[in-house]
Amino acid sequence: MTGILTKVLTRTIVKPFYEQNAGLLAVVFLIAGSFLRAIEHITLAEVAIRTHFVLAIYIGIWAIYGFHTTRFAARVLHDEPFLHHLRLIPVPTQWLVLVLTQLQLLLPVLVYAGFVATMAINAGIWLSLTVILLAIAALATWPLIWYTRILRNPATERFSGKLGSWFSQRFTTPYLFFFLRYLLSRQPVLLLLTKTGTLLVLLGLAALYPTDDYDLRLFGLGGLLAALAHITIVYRLYQFEHESLVLYRNLPVSILRRLLRYMIQIAVLLLPEAILLVRYRPHDQSLTAMLSIWAFALSLTLLEFSLLFKRHRLPDELFPALFWLLIGGFFAIMYQLPVWLLAGSGWLTASILFIRYYPQSVWETR
Amino acid sequence: MLSLTHFAKSYHNRLVIQVPDWQLPAGIHWVKGTNGSGKTTLFRSIAGMLPFDGQIVLNGQWDCRRHPVPYRLRVNYSEAEPALPGFLTAWELIQWVGTAKQASGMQIDELIDAFGIRDFMKTPVGTYSSGMLKKTSLVIGFLGDPLLILLDEPLVTLDQQATETVSRLIRRYHEQGVSFLLSSHQDFNLTSLPVQSVWRVQEQTLTQEPLTSGPV
């Protein structure tokens, strides 16, 4: 019975989770694989097992990822009434399949934690090893409290909370902020993870810049990474519009105005990056130059969005497009093509693709 | 009023519906069909929400593709199973669609009161029952100054009072020159609406039926 139940949960929770987060995970792997060499990974792990503070940061990141997975699984358990039958099976079996499911969701963390734990064993630092093992055990088991609560209280009504209710009674959200509200209410962890990641990368580059003879290309690479890191959020926008706002297609809005509205929504999403680039502008770089980096990141993000309309793809099918965007962007920056030119080309290509393919696009479930 | 020429819609290369030539005069028209026959696909295509092959023209003037803005200003749609963002309120959605469809504040107020949604319209859609959701979708369907309103299963999940409201509004709008395409498993003959023609979606196409016969 355990095998069948695990299979059901794998198909309903694990598989959709990885499909929906494939873009984000792909970007993390691309960044980890292309910008850090093997020796640097080993050095980082060695620092972590020897420094409690760094190890705590590692575990904190794993915990945020764990919370993201748990939130996803909890939502599926809440929304799929047939999964509420799990309540009818013996508690030990119920817990076993739920922990097995959680372990599958934690797979990227398990692999990396296994690597760090191996380093701790080799170095004979048993305290760090124990802390890592306890952290993993906690990440695999604490969601049981959440999951069990959902199974014991099926079909509970969702409330928007006092703040949400107060907001709804007094204000009307303009269309341009529908998606931002969706992210804040339905995907806060995704938003937090993406923003934390891109802002940390840009901050790191700003700190690195004065240490050597770097030029604007360094921030150009940052802009490229920031755009690629937003792929999952961009996919969510595409999915949200197709699944929950399909009515928008019946509204009398011209294609150019639609394009402009999506540009504004994506620009709002990338506003923190703009603020950071301006705030940490190096003394030898002009404001225009830093804004060109932001415009470049914006154009690439818009290009990712427009590409989605060309052919309906599942999130895990985005990897090749991301790879080529990374390679193309990397060489364009390293060959010192003007950033404004790159941004302009990106915007133009994104606009042409959007105008050409948006009216023909359709969300086709397989 | 509405013409479909060489219309075809497929999913994954599987033909769902094909209509070589359909000239629909102004009036109230009832489209029947079994579950999955393609009624909703047809309605969504006419509403400009799905890409399709062929041509759809309203009043001989507005082509769905070539005149996307004026066409959509005149064609409204109320979904059978409304898929709306659960965190938004009915009020926010009505305001959004109402502004786009150029509905007046007075019309919005009238429709809200007609369907009795004022009490819950400022709570998130995700907390609504299926009937409340349907009423919200119907309010959206009547907004603005349309020439054609597509109502997909308008009577499903509605209480008796709301059913009467729908019939009353259809009759009133029809008197003002608005045409309707209705799809329903329920018999519109019972609502005493002046249904002008009955069509059935079957075997991937549309065929006309006599006004008073046949299972729904």
Q: What is the pLDDT of residues B25-76, one digit of tens each?
A: 999 999 998 888 889 999 999 999 999 999 999 999 999 999 999 999 999 9
User: Which tokens go with A303?
Assistant: 């290009």
Q: Is B123 on the interface with A (CB under 8 A)?
A: yes
Q: How far apart are CA B28 and CA B30, in angstroms?
A: 7
Mutation site for B-interface testing, chosen from A179, A250, A361 by largest number of B Cβ within 10 Å: A250
Mutation site for B-interface testing, chosen from A79, A167, A247 by largest number of B Cβ within 10 Å: A247
Contact B40, B183 (CB under 8 A): yes
Contact B161, B116 (CB under 8 A): yes
Taking the CA of residue B93 and the nearest CA in chain A, the distance in Å comes to 9
**Residues A215-241: b if buried by 16+ CB within 10 A, e if exposed:** ebbbbbbbbbbbbbbbbbbbbbbbebb
Chain B contact set for A157 (CB, 8 A) = 127
CA-to-CA separations, B168 to A166, B12, B115, B165, B198, in angstroms, rounded: 35, 40, 11, 5, 20
Does A240 score more than 90 pLDDT? yes
For B121-153, write each residue's pLDDT tens digit: 999 998 898 899 999 999 999 999 999 999 999
Q: How far apart are CA A237 and CA A261, in angstroms?
A: 12
Q: How far apart are CA A313 and CA A244, in angstroms?
A: 18
Nearest CA in chain A to B102: A252
In whole numbers, what is the pLDDT of chain A averaged over residues? 88
Mutation site for A-interface testing, chosen from B13, B81, B96 by largest number of A Cβ within 10 Å: B96
Q: Is A250 on the interface with B (CB under 8 A)?
A: yes
pLDDT at B33: 87
Q: Is the torsion defined by CA of A74, A78, A80, A84 positive or negative?
A: positive
For B65-116, write each residue's pLDDT tens digit: 999 999 999 999 999 888 899 899 999 999 999 999 999 999 999 999 999 9
Q: Is B87 on the interface with A (CB under 8 A)?
A: yes
CA-to-CA separations, A54 to A300, A347, B136, in angstroms, rounded: 33, 40, 52
Taking the CA of residue B134 and the nearest CA in chain A, the distance in Å comes to 14
Domain locations along chain B? 2-209
Residues pairing with B183 in the sheet: B31, B152
Helix, strand and coil percent figures for chain A, each rounded to 5 = 85, 0, 15
Nearest CA in chain B to A182: B87
Contact A306, A357 (CB under 8 A): yes
Q: Is B51 on the interface with A (CB under 8 A)?
A: yes
Which of A169, A173, A253 comes nearest B100 by C-beta? A253
Taking the CA of residue B212 and the nearest CA in chain A, the distance in Å comes to 32
Taking the CA of residue A138 and the nearest CA in chain B, the distance in Å comes to 32
Q: Is A336 left (phi over 0), alpha (psi -120 to 50) or beta?
A: left
Q: How far apart are CA A28 and CA A39, in angstroms?
A: 18
Taking the CA of residue A270 and the nearest CA in chain B, the distance in Å comes to 23
Q: At what angle do helices A188-208 and A216-229 cross, to 10 degrees?
A: 170
Q: Which CATH class is domain B2-209?
A: alpha beta
Dihedral angle, C-alpha A195, A201, A203, A207, nearest 10 °: 170
What is the SS3 assignment for A151-210?
HHCCCCCCCCHHHHHHHHHHCCCCHHHHHHHHHHHHCHHHHHHHHHHHHHHHHHHHHHHH
Q: Is B95 on the interface with A (CB under 8 A)?
A: yes
pLDDT at A114: 93
Closest CA to A244 of B176, B82, B76, B213: B82
Please state the φ and ψ torsions of residue B62, each to the nearest 5 degrees.
Answer: -110, 115
Q: Is B89 on the interface with A (CB under 8 A)?
A: yes
Q: Is A338 on the interface with B (CB under 8 A)?
A: no
Which of B68, B71, B87 comes nearest A160 by C-beta? B87
Which of B73, B79, B83 comes nearest A243 by C-beta? B83
Q: How far apart are CA A140 and CA B28, in angstroms?
A: 59
Contact A309, A358 (CB under 8 A): yes
Nearest CA in chain B to A174: B96
Nearest CA in chain A to B143: A251
Q: How far apart are CA A304 and CA A175, in angstroms?
A: 21
Residues pairing with B205 in the sheet: B202
Instruction: pLDDT band for B168, please (50, 70, 90 cuts).
Output: very high
**pLDDT over 70 percentage in chain A:** 95
Nearest CA in chain A to B126: A158
For A99-155, write each residue's pLDDT tens digit: 999 999 999 999 999 999 999 999 889 999 999 999 999 999 999 998 988 888 876
Dihedral angle, C-alpha A75, A80, A83, A87, nearest 10 °: 70
Q: Is the torsion defined by CA of A173, A176, A180, A182 positive or negative?
A: positive
**Sequence letter at residue A10:** T
Hey, are the CB atoms on A251 and B68 less than 8 Å from each other?
Answer: no
Cβ-count burial of A178 within 10 angstroms (0-12 exposed, 13-18 middle, 19+ buried)? Answer: buried
Instruction: pLDDT band for A177, please (50, 70, 90 cuts).
Output: very high
Please state the φ and ψ torsions of residue B149, each to the nearest 5 degrees.
Answer: -120, 130
* Helix and strand element counts for chain A (H, E): 18, 0
Q: Is A72 on the interface with B (CB under 8 A)?
A: no
**H-helix or E-strand containing A243?**
helix A231-243
User: Which tokens go with A48?
Assistant: 């972590």
pLDDT at A277: 94
- Say whether the ipTM exceeds 0.90: yes
Taking the CA of residue B140 and the nearest CA in chain A, the distance in Å comes to 10
